[in-house]
């Protein structure tokens, strides 16, 4: 019953997005000296959690419903991170990647705070 609440799905989606983005940043840092390596990033959470991407607009609960969208698992969109490249063609800048890592940590902390607050509200509402 409670696993279908939108606030929990959104908090979980934000945490998963932050985790995937952190993995991408780690790969960028690991390839900082690789010639011709292009830094990657993923689309923002707002883009990946949009109505069209996740099906949060109209959902069908019966086969007779029109325009329902049940797509829940959409692939992550990887994009080339903008920025100049070094003489060997590598576009990774460690400073930019560290700034992104800090931003991702903040997003993950936000997701956990939303989840914790929502759980506290649920516990209070049922009297525990």
The pair of three-digit structure tokens given for residue 56, joined into one six-digit string = 């949060």
pLDDT at 15: 92
The reply to whether the predicted model has a pTM over 0.85 is no
Q: Is the pLDDT of residue 48 over 60?
A: yes
Residue 29 has pLDDT above 90, yes or no: yes
Asked if 115 contacts 11 with a C-beta cutoff of 8 angstroms, the reply is yes
Q: What is the overall mean pLDDT for the chain? A: 80
Cα–Cα distance, 98 to 22 (Å, whole number): 10
Burial class of residue 61 (count of CB atoms within 10 Å of its CB; 0-12, 13-18, 19+): exposed
Segment 93-108, tens digit of pLDDT: 899 999 999 999 999 9
Please state, in angstroms and rounded to a whole number, the distance separating the CA atoms of residues 17 and 93: 22
Identify the three-state secondary structure at position 109: helix
What pLDDT is stored for residue 71 in this prediction? 44
| pLDDT band at residue 80 under the 50/70/90 scheme | confident
| Whole-number Å distance between alpha carbons of 123 and 126 | 5
Residue 43, SS3? coil
54 pLDDT exceeds 70? Answer: no
Q: What are phi and psi of 40, to 5 degrees?
A: -110, 160
Q: Is residue 20 predicted with pLDDT exceeding 90? A: yes
What is the C-alpha separation between 92 and 79, in angstroms, rounded?
13
CB-CB contact of 49 with 10 (8 Å): yes
Q: What is the DSSP letter of 22?
A: H
């Amino acid at each position: 019953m409670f696993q279908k609440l939108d606030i929990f799905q959104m908090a979980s989606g934000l945490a998963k997005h932050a985790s995937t983005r952190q993995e991408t940043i780690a790969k960028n840092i690991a390839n900082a000296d690789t010639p011709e390596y292009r830094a990657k990033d993923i689309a923002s959470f707002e883009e990946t959690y949009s109505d069209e991407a996740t099906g949060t607009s109209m959902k069908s609960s019966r086969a007779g419903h029109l325009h329902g969208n049940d797509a829940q698992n959409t692939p992550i969109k990887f994009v080339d991170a903008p920025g100049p490249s070094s003489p060997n063609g590598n576009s990774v800048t460690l400073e930019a990647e560290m700034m992104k890592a800090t931003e991702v940590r903040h997003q993950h902390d936000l997701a956990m705070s939303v989840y914790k607050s929502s759980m506290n509200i649920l516990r209070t509402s049922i009297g525990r």
